[in-house]
Each structure stands twice: as C-alpha cells, then as structure tokens.
Amino acid sequence: MTSISLSPTTFDGVDLPDLQQQSASIRDCIQEEDVALLRGWISRAAVDGAMDRLRSGFSLENDTKLDHKSRVTDPRDIPNYQRLMLGEFGATETERSFFVRMFYNPLWNGDQWGLHDTFRRMIRLRNALYDVAPDHCLEAPQNSTYTLSRVHQYPRGGGFLAAHRDTVAAGVPESTGLNGYIQVLLVMSEKGRDFHTGGGYYVKHGERILYEEFTQPGDVLVYNGQTLHGVETVDPQEETNLASAHGRYSATVTLYQPRRGVMKMG
Ligand SMILES: [Fe+2]
C-alpha cells in the first residue's frame, strides 16, 4: 500500500536574496501539488502584533453591509472598511456561501493595524510567483488592477466559507496577461488557542486537509485556481457573538479590478 502525503511541501526560511530562485521551485511545487507552505517569510511576531491591534481596536459599530470596492471606479477611492458577510448566493446551484467579516485595508490608506509591511512582503512574494516586477501593484493601482489587501475573520460560533475554487479572482491576472493564478494566504491564528474545531482547508485526493492542524501564525499557504478550498465551520458549538473579535483569521493580497466602469488613470 502506498501512502500519500496530504500535508503540503514546506519551504522553510525563504528570504529576499533567494526569492527569485526559490519562487521557481515553489511554482513547480504548486503546479504539481496545487498547494505549498512557506515558513519564515512573514514573522510570527508581526502577525501577533497586528492581531493584538485588530482585537483591541475592534468594534461591532464599524460593521457595514456596503461593499465599497464595488461602488467605485477608481480603486484609490476604496476606504478602509469592515464588512460583515453572511449569506448564500448563486443563480442556480450555490456559487458563494459564507459567514465572514472582512477588514479591507488598501496600502494607500492608513496602516491601522500595523500590517502594511506584512502586506508588502506578501505582495513581493505574490509578484515573484507571478514572475512580474517586485513592485507590481505594490503601493498603488496599476492601470485597472490593484491589490485588495485584507484580513478575514471567521467568527467562533459559525464562521465558514463553502468549498470553492477562486474562479472570479483567477480571471484578473489572466485578463492582464499574467500566467495562471496564485493565491497567497497568510495564516493569522492558531488552532487550539484561538479556535478549536474547523478552520481553513483544501481538498486533496478527496480529503479535507485542515491546514491549521500543522501551521502557525506567520505561515503562508500558496495555492492556485485549481485548488478546492474553504473554511470548515469554526467552533459551531460556541455562542455566536458578533460583538466579539474572536475566531479564525487569515489575510490575502489578491489582484483585483473594479467591477463597474473603466478606471480613469490620471
Ligand atoms: Fe477562495
């Protein structure tokens, strides 16, 4: 009987001088295995510090249902905002279904959680994996494309994200001439401490791999448009409390484009 390794290949100690060279091996790994894990690219201390600020500054009062990023034609008009998302969507079968709170924090706005340097490192990694210039969509939008830097909170007591592949986001790099699609996801919480059951997963060989079983805050999971992934209900037995900042957290720096109109470049 052959045993199949379900945990991802881990790249430990990736650093700036080697990034270009190592990104080729990481790309090969994702091509082959759909996921890869990077340890050491983002420091745990940076993530823990940002989490302290997120939790201490959190207020239910800041929740909005408005999706500002869909209401602007120029991404530079997107404010920092906190959006509560709970629902099921789709024309026939379910396309999207979630209970999550998003904290949008574009790099041209204030650095309210001290996360901008972390976002910049994630963007540099993303760009290396796309094999584009290190500063591509780093500080500001480029043409109609921008980096949607954000934090996701899946609250204890029901936070979840139905299994899906990133088909919408995957259309953006393709439309701008980039090869393939890469998602770079920062693990920000620790299973066993911040939550106890459920959490982020990807599906491999028909099995859910709950990756926070073996990750730690600061680890970066990289996957592609083929990777089926989601968030299994976080602590479903716990009380659902929208006023609390507790739960399972992650962050992404996805390439995005405004949904409405054509952006006018100044
Ligand atoms: Fe996704």
Would you state the torsion angle of the CA atoms of residues 180, 185, 191, 197, taken in this order, to the nearest 10 degrees? -50
Convert the pLDDT of each residue in 70-117 to its tens digit: 999 899 999 999 999 999 999 999 989 999 999 999 999 999 999 999
Per domain, the residue ranges of the chain are 15-256
Q: What is the pLDDT of residue 5?
A: 59
Show the tokens assigned to 82: 């906190």
Q: Residue-wise pLDDT tens for the chain (266 aa)?
A: 444 457 888 988 777 667 888 888 998 898 888 899 999 999 999 999 999 999 999 999 999 999 999 999 899 999 999 999 999 999 999 989 999 999 999 999 999 999 999 999 999 999 999 989 999 999 999 988 999 999 999 999 999 999 999 877 777 777 776 767 889 999 999 999 999 999 999 999 999 999 999 999 999 999 988 899 999 999 999 999 999 999 999 999 999 988 644 333 33
In this structure, the number of other CB atoms found within 10 A of the CB of residue 145 comes to 19
Cα of 137 vs centre of ligand 1, distance in Å, is 20
- Which residues neighbour ligand 1 (ion) by CB within 5 Å? 166
pLDDT at 108: 96
pTM of structure: 0.92
Q: Which amino acid is at 180?
A: G
What is the reported pLDDT for 31?
86
* CA 252 to centroid of ligand 1, rounded, Å: 10
Range 211-215 contact pairs with CB under 8 angstroms and sequence separation of 24 or more: 211/7, 211/8, 211/37, 211/187, 212/187, 212/248, 214/7, 215/37, 215/187
169 CA to centre of ligand 1 in angstroms: 8
CA of 170 to the centre of ligand 1 (A): 10
pLDDT at 266: 31
Superfamily of domain 15-256: q2cbj1_9rhob like domain (2.60.120.620)
Ligand 1 centroid to residue 54 C-alpha, Å? 22
CA 82 to chain centre: 15
